[in-house]
């Protein structure tokens, strides 16, 4: 029976060896650490560099991630692709591997009209018993998904089958629009890296899907929000915001470069390598600011009871 999709569900990064192969030993370290600091499960997503993996690597990563997590939390596998046929292969593999849900961005190589978006997501929903998270990643890649399309999918399949991760800008107002258009029935997960977590929480999200790099801060931040402890939440939130602001300046590769740098510094990854080509690399001055801000965040995490 699928595990619940709720709480703090970090996006796993894909570590690479010096020979540009997936480093499954580092992947295991990352997942073990995530569960140890209180994650409710793990996901893959855009910062997993899925679009830079081969077809076979994506299938193997699905199997390995489910096996490594081994029931310690839910597993959400990203299955978005440029065609329905591709996405169905990834969706069926996720179900066979024992994942608990799939998440999909729409095709990003062209602007897909509403009726085709409905067909794409309906095909995924019909292909397996797993819930489908509709991911609008248009804040940094692809085109936005109309709220009307999202509401229609929810109407057809219900909120146990269709869930949402809205990342189109402006995130907060669009999140509220989806909530209100569906009479509060939409189950929504935010993915802003933490910079919009508090605003999104107040708009009624069911969980957050941050990167891994600040997870030991995001978990107690989320827990503080749940118990209504704003003082603790904001104390952790402000340095997270400052760090994410540095990542935002360079889009997806800004997130990847800094996230992998931090995971390597934490000793979780053997390298900080990304698949090439890359549009941005971490320069020495940005790295120094990341180090300063991370020291501030780590100090706040240490003085926050678990």
**Chain centre distance of CA 208:** 8
| Residue 209 known to bind ligand | yes
Distance CA 298, CA 287 (A): 16
Is residue 124 within 8 Å of residue 136, measured between CB atoms? no
Distance CA 30, CA 65 (A): 11
Q: Which of 120, 142, 141, 140 is nearest to 132 (CA)?
A: 120
| Per-residue CA distances from 61 to 14, 19, 81, 243 (Å) | 9, 17, 15, 28
> Taking each helix axis from N to C terminus, what angle separates 230-248 and 251-265, rounded to the nearest 10 degrees?
120
Annotated binding site for pyruvate: 209
Q: Which residues are annotated as a binding site?
A: 209
């Amino acid at each position: 029976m699928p595990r619940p999709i709720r709480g703090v569900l970090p996006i796993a990064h894909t570590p690479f060896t010096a020979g540009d192969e997936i480093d499954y030993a580092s992947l295991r370290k990352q997942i073990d650490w995530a569960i140890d600091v209180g994650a409710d499960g793990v996901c893959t997503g855009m910062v997993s560099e899925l679009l830079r993996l081969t077809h076979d690597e994506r299938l193997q990563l699905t199997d390995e991630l489910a096996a490594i997590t081994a029931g310690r939390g839910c597993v959400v596998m990203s299955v978005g692709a440029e065609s329905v046929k591709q996405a169905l292969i990834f969706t069926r593999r996720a179900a066979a591997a024992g994942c608990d849900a799939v998440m999909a961005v729409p095709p990003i190589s062209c602007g897909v009209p509403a009726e085709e978006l409905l067909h794409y997501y309906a095909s995924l929903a019909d292909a397996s018993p797993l819930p489908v998270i509709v991911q609008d990643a248009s804040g940094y890649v692809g085109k936005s998904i109309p709220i009307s399309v999202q509401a229609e999918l929810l109407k057809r399949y219900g909120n146990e089958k269709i869930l949402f991760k809205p990342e189109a800008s402006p995130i907060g107002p669009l999140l509220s629009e989806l909530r209100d258009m569906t009479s509060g029935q939409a189950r929504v997960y935010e993915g802003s890296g933490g910079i919009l977590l508090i605003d999104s929480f107040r708009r009624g999200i069911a969980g957050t899907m941050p990167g891994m790099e600040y997870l030991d801060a995001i978990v107690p931040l989320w827990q503080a929000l749940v118990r209504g402890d704003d003082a603790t939440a904001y104390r952790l939130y402000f340095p997270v915001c400052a760090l994410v602001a540095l990542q935002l300046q360079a889009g997806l590769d800004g997130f990847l470069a800094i996230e992998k740098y931090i995971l390597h510094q934490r000793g979780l990854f053997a390298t900080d390598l990304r698949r090439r080509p890359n549009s941005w690399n971490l320069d020495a001055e940005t790295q120094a600011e990341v180090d300063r801000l991370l020291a501030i965040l780590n100090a706040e995490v240490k003085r926050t009871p678990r």
